[in-house]
Chain A
């Protein structure tokens, strides 16, 4: 490298560092950036860690005791002792119906009048009715109710001498032995935080520059478009990494989520996703050049898919095939797979390499596109 080249490199570096300094000041002086970079991750951690719980406990259930035999009371006591239910005994079906309609009970367990008699004949029946308006809680409650009755029946069978026909189902949950939804929700949060900082904040900041015309002002200075973009994105990249550190610390220390994979790999893939998000934010802002529209588009293209289509809350395997295909368009899908695997399963290279490769490809394409879009404006 000649001395001339070295000088030019040095000058470029100085220009970039000046831009970074300016942008960092701007970022630090605006309380809303700190809010989204620091306060938001903490708030999300607390909300998801404590607030969102897909596991069902203490379902209020009305128990209609039409039979008062020892056997019927036995079934009722299973519900009374279970952590999953909070049982409220009532006399008539009409009463129970009233409780369900007024949302005081979410389920009804009806033990019919001939329960003890039919039990001896081997065809006893217990009726379980749930309020399907909340389908997920309803389905889980139904499962627990069936389980509770089956446990009672097995005990009763053992007590009265068992003629066979019992299958013991041993359920085991790998990667998440505690069956705790926090385990997959809290690591998944990283995708939301990164999307907010990387895409949403960048899109807004850049759109404002376009809106106010300060971008054009930068063009007349000796910096080139690549340097501008680099200067603009580095502070947000760092803010994103701070958000990542907060999320990882919060989920492992506060909520005891295991991190079975390597922290280095986690950081590397998160950086890749952050680059993709920054690229999206840059492309959207230079395509819209309007803060309100940029915010709407970013919300629709990055944040909502990260929440709904990534596997963070809803498993893509549950979706129709066409929608499953759509999920592959969004980078968040790959990142969530990586997060869940790295946190709960470990360094599984068969999963890590292909997903990381897709993110790297997307990052390169988007950043190249944003440089091109910015350059085009000068001409």
Chain B
């Protein structure tokens, strides 16, 4: 038992030396996670700060001017052009000079007062339906507010309903608050899975893996010796990203660090298990790299990072059940933003334990059997 432990420790020391001795590879462990976190923190956002738009005011009344000044007073809508007819707007939309064209129809003022509904047209560039959806949402809210104001000024009572909205855990609904906690798992998984898979594949390519197998190591010891260093690197990387989230982006941390790290440790075990499994399939580094990619892409896409898993077709939802990243994102987001307790996260944590408990023994078995 003690001898086995000692053997594992020597393997871990050797492995850490391989990873850390080369300054280029040392840098490639620390810098990319932090840089990625910074770039994605700023880039990965669905929020729009400004909406360049073109105005077509066919009514030219006091009321339409009031509506427009309300729109522009928000600071979000920035008029790029004032046009006389819709035809001219086409080029502006085509060349992406504007996101929206807002048309105030003729008789807007008269119809508003008469009680028949007056019309405003909002035309959006749908090439990115998400951006246009957000821009249209802004316009709708401001126009609805304007209508409510108009009614209360005219002293019209009757069925007007005010919708008051609140968002828990992320009051300003900033994409960044959702994104960065999810990146802790995502970035760490990309790095550790590849690190693990490539380290075994490199030994195979260089022929040193056979030497390991004939040395007095059991396959399990080799597996643990490969998994623990990746685990250490993974914990260090997630801590670095957590620091960026806390101190650079200053996203308030609602939960317990202990729960978060427990979840991360289980997640890393599952991700590294996958990495080891892939490395046991690959004959060389190129294959290991490509295999990792073939798994990482679906893991990232079906994780809830970019779009909620609940929206996916049922078949894909079953696929997501073996995805460690899905559970990691659920855990990090809920601990970080909602302050969820360990008991609420047990199903996610259990799933990670199961994934690790399946992938690791399989890869240990494969190590031995690939040799034949």
| A complexed with B | yes
A positions within 8 Å CB-CB of B: 30-33, 35-36, 39-40, 43-44, 47-48, 50-58, 75, 100-103, 119-140, 142-143, 145-147, 149-150, 152-154, 156-157, 160, 162-177, 179-181, 183-184, 196, 200-201, 204-205, 208, 288, 290-293, 295-297, 299-300, 304, 308-309, 311, 313-320, 322-323, 326-327, 337, 340-341, 344-345, 348, 350-351
Q: Which of B208-216, B236-244, B306-314 contacts A (4 or more CB under 8 A)?
A: B306-314
How many Å from the CB of A307 to the closest CB on chain B? 9
- Tell whether B141 is near chain A: CB-to-CB under 8 Å: yes
Chain A to chain B contacts (Cβ below 8 Å), 9 pairs: A52-B307, A167-B120, A173-B123, A173-B124, A173-B129, A288-B24, A299-B190, A315-B128, A340-B128
Contact B128 A169 (CB under 8 A): no
- Tell whether B6 is near chain A: CB-to-CB under 8 Å: no
Contact B45 A122 (CB under 8 A): no
Q: Do A183 and B129 contact each other (CB < 8 Å), given the known contacts A166-B147, A292-B198?
A: yes
Contact A169 B120 (CB under 8 A): yes
Contact B117 A168 (CB under 8 A): yes
Q: Do A43 and B154 contact each other (CB < 8 Å), given the known contacts A32-B290, A179-B133?
A: no
How many Å from the CB of B340 to the closest CB on chain A? 8
Q: Do A170 and B158 contact each other (CB < 8 Å), given the known contacts A130-B168, A131-B168, A308-B43?
A: no
CA of A294 to CA of B371, assembled, Å: 28
A sample of 17 more A-B contacts (CB under 8 A), given A175-B127, A183-B126, A291-B285, is A47-B302, A54-B129, A54-B306, A124-B161, A125-B163, A126-B162, A128-B166, A134-B308, A146-B163, A163-B158, A166-B117, A166-B118, A167-B112, A208-B286, A293-B24, A295-B198, A318-B131
How many Å from the CB of B148 to the closest CB on chain A? 8
Contact A53 B157 (CB under 8 A): no
CA of A167 to CA of B143, assembled, Å: 8
Closest 5 CB pairs of A and B: A132-B170, A176-B126, A122-B157, A132-B167, A173-B126
How many Å from the CB of B52 to the closest CB on chain A? 8
Contact A170 B48 (CB under 8 A): no
- Tell whether B66 is near chain A: CB-to-CB under 8 Å: no
Number of contacting residues on B, CB 8 A? Answer: 109
Q: Which of B94-102, B223-231, B259-267, B360-368 contacts A (4 or more CB under 8 A)?
A: B94-102
Contact B165 A142 (CB under 8 A): yes
Complex: chain B residue closest to A309, CB-CB: B43
Contact A293 B312 (CB under 8 A): no
Contact A315 B143 (CB under 8 A): no
Set B115, B130, B139: member contacting A315, Cβ < 8 A: B130
Contact B301 A52 (CB under 8 A): yes
Contact B42 A320 (CB under 8 A): yes
> Interface SS of chain B: helix, strand, loop or mixed?
helix
How many Å from the CB of A110 to the closest CB on chain B? 9
Contact B298 A165 (CB under 8 A): no
CA of A337 to CA of B43, assembled, Å: 17
Contact A137 B308 (CB under 8 A): yes
CA of A315 to CA of B46, assembled, Å: 7
Q: Do A350 and B130 contact each other (CB < 8 Å), given the known contacts A36-B290, A101-B338, A170-B120?
A: no
B positions within 8 Å CB-CB of A: 24-25, 28, 32, 35-36, 39-40, 42-50, 91, 93-96, 99, 112-115, 117-134, 136-137, 139-141, 143-144, 146-147, 150-151, 154, 156-171, 173-175, 177-178, 190, 194, 198, 202, 285-287, 289-291, 293-294, 297-298, 301-302, 304, 306-308, 310-313, 316, 333-334, 337-338, 340, 344
Q: Do A146 and B306 contact each other (CB < 8 Å), given the known contacts A132-B169, A176-B129?
A: no
B44 CB contacts on chain A under 8 angstroms: 308, 313-314
Complex: chain A residue closest to B175, CB-CB: A135
Contact A130 B165 (CB under 8 A): yes
CA of A204 to CA of B235, assembled, Å: 28
Set B177, B310, B316, B334: member contacting A50, Cβ < 8 A: B316
Contact B163 A164 (CB under 8 A): no
CA of A152 to CA of B161, assembled, Å: 9
Interface centre among A40, A101, A134, A165 (most CB of B within 10 A): A165
A293 CB contacts on chain B under 8 angstroms: 24-25, 28
Set B95, B139, B294: member contacting A35, Cβ < 8 A: B294
CA of A262 to CA of B163, assembled, Å: 47
Contact B173 A123 (CB under 8 A): no
Contact B115 A166 (CB under 8 A): yes
Set A48, A58, A101, A167: member contacting B146, Cβ < 8 A: A167
Contact B147 A296 (CB under 8 A): no
Complex: chain B residue closest to A346, CB-CB: B94
CA of A44 to CA of B162, assembled, Å: 44
Contact B129 A181 (CB under 8 A): yes
Interface centre among B302, B306, B344 (most CB of A within 10 A): B306
Contact B132 A173 (CB under 8 A): yes
Contact B137 A143 (CB under 8 A): yes
Contact B36 A300 (CB under 8 A): yes
How many Å from the CB of A136 to the closest CB on chain B? 5
Contact A169 B139 (CB under 8 A): yes
Interface centre among B35, B39, B114, B164 (most CB of A within 10 A): B39
Q: Do A295 and B289 contact each other (CB < 8 Å), given the known contacts A119-B161, A323-B39?
A: yes
CA of A295 to CA of B117, assembled, Å: 60
Interface centre among B129, B170, B338 (most CB of A within 10 A): B129
Contact A170 B121 (CB under 8 A): yes
CA of A162 to CA of B160, assembled, Å: 11
Contact B154 A165 (CB under 8 A): yes
B128 CB contacts on chain A under 8 angstroms: 184, 311, 315, 340
Interface centre among A33, A196, A315, A340 (most CB of B within 10 A): A315
How many Å from the CB of A200 to the closest CB on chain B? 8
Contact A135 B93 (CB under 8 A): no
Set A147, A164, A183: member contacting B113, Cβ < 8 A: A164
Q: Do A124 and B160 contact each other (CB < 8 Å), given the known contacts A147-B140, A168-B120?
A: yes
Contact A341 B127 (CB under 8 A): yes
A183 CB contacts on chain B under 8 angstroms: 126, 129
